[in-house]
Structure 1
Amino acid sequence: MTGAAILRPREMKTNDRGGGARTTPLVTRACGSTSMINGITAFDPGAAIGLHSHNCEESVMVIEGRAIAEIDGVEHHLDTNDTTWIPANVPHRFINASDKPMRIFWTYASIDATRTMIATGETRSIDAEHGKAKT
């Protein structure tokens, strides 16, 4: 298995994104990826992340609970295993409007993915966000 990796989310560092959302990076440069990154974001009941866009395609699967995906101004109600594909530069966000935990598994189509917050215009690399992860 040269160059391969087995990743166990319960043993990985987590980044508190504020507002009841926490991200656990999985496949990143740190494990040797050269073309994609992915991870899991957990949302407490009522939590949401801010409206943002990326410089590359993103796919998100709901792996626990129910979510609202706001994509380009349209709300979509998602159940467990429902999956999105979001083109580059399309504003979107995920919301847990329930009273139960919700988790999503996300994949970016570029190792150089960035996030631009719509409210502020601030752009930062996803790698920079992962550098803040804590055990």
Structure 2
Amino acid sequence: MTKGVILHPNDLPAHKRGNGNKTIPLAGPRIGAGFLNGITVIAPGSAIPLHTHNCEESVVVLEGDALAEIDGEQHKLVRHDASWIPADLPHRFINASQTEPLTILWTYARPDATRTLVETGETRPVSAEHRR
């Protein structure tokens, strides 16, 4: 039987994603989890590039105001609002504030989740961020 693990995001390394955005990987295979999750902080006025995944994803807004662009439609989300995004559907999260950061918690249904950037077609495993 695997023991549970407590994760402290403030003590974990962050992966810089450009434009002041960063991701803090949390649960994944390295601790025995059968899924991936983490926290992404999106800088004021910034956005994550439009992308797809090979599996479903859920995102919860922890702090701030977001615009979730899902399959070409924008949806306003505030603290504790959540989304579910099926595999292969283009999406991104935009910080709707010009002054405050947006913090989201994301979960991928598979530990081998990939991210494909719509603009370039480049595909990488999300877990690469968990190995840093």
Report the CA distance between 1:130 and its aligned residue: 2.7
Structure 2 residue 110 is the aligned partner of structure 1 residue 110: yes
Cα contact 2:36–2:127 (8 A) shared by 1: no
Q: 1:55-94 residue pairs with structure 2 within 5 A?
A: 55-94=54-93
Deviation at 1:108, TM superposition (A): 0.2
The TM-score normalised by the length of structure 1 is 0.93
Q: Are the equivalent residues in 2 in contact too, given 1:20–1:48 (CA < 8 A)? A: no
Identity of aligned residues (%): 55
- Flag structure 2 segments of 5+ consecutive residues without an equivalent: none
The CA distance in 1 between the partners of 2:23 and 2:73, in whole Å, is 24
Paired residue for 2:123? 123
Give the superposition deviation at 1:2: 4.5
Q: Cα RMSD between the aligned structures?
A: 1.2
Question: Whole-Å Cα distance in 2 between the matches of residues 2 and 43 of structure 1?
Answer: 33
Paired with 2:129 and 2:119, the residues of 1 have a C-alpha distance of: 18
1:19-69 residue CA offsets vs partner (Å, 9 max, x unmatched): 121000000112111x21100000111111100000000000000011000
Q: How many angstroms does 1:10 deviate by? A: 0.4
Q: Structure 1: which 5+ residue stretches go unaligned? A: none
Q: 1:6-28 CA deviation, whole Å, 9 max, x = no partner?
A: 00000111000001210000001
